[in-house]
Amino acid sequence: DAGVTQSPTHLIKTRGQQVTLRCSPISGHKSVSWYQQVLGQGPQFIFQYYEKEERGRGNFPDRFSARQFPNYSSELNVNALLLGDSALYLCASSLQGQETQYFGPGTRLLVL
């Protein structure tokens, strides 16, 4: 079975631009969470979506938004990019009622 997939793998943007990152969960998983991992740090929770509804949000500004589609895939959008948004963005999925999250390979975003 395929694991969590994310696209693109790498992305370069300039300050002020907008970016959309995509995630496809493991088949059968209905919960998707997004994390930001800045170089040298642990991942920080951004959002959780379950059954297309936001179920949790971390301490991130409103420039960050996300949505989940009927097929349970998800997009993370970041507007008005700042240099500090440069990071590895990780998506994780989990089965309904399960605590274990399975992570994708991430999208590495560089903001110049």
Partner 1 sequence: AQSVTQLGSHVSVSEGALVLLRCNYSSSVPPYLFWYVQYPNQGLQLLLKYTTGATLVKGINGFEAEFKKSETSFHLTKPSAHMSDAAEYFCAVSRKGNQGGKLIFGQGTELSVKP
Binding site for partner 1 (CB under 8 A): 4, 31, 33, 35, 40-45, 48, 50, 55-56, 58, 90, 92-106
The least CB distance from residue 16 to partner 1, in Å, is 27
The least CB distance from residue 60 to partner 1, in Å, is 12
Residue 104, token pair as written in the block: 């994708």
Of 6 and 81, which has the nearer Cβ to partner 1? 6
Of 9 and 70, which has the nearer Cβ to partner 1? 9
Q: What are the b/e assignments for 6-19, b being 16+ CB within 10 Å? A: beeeeeebeeeeeb
The least CB distance from residue 31 to partner 1, in Å, is 3
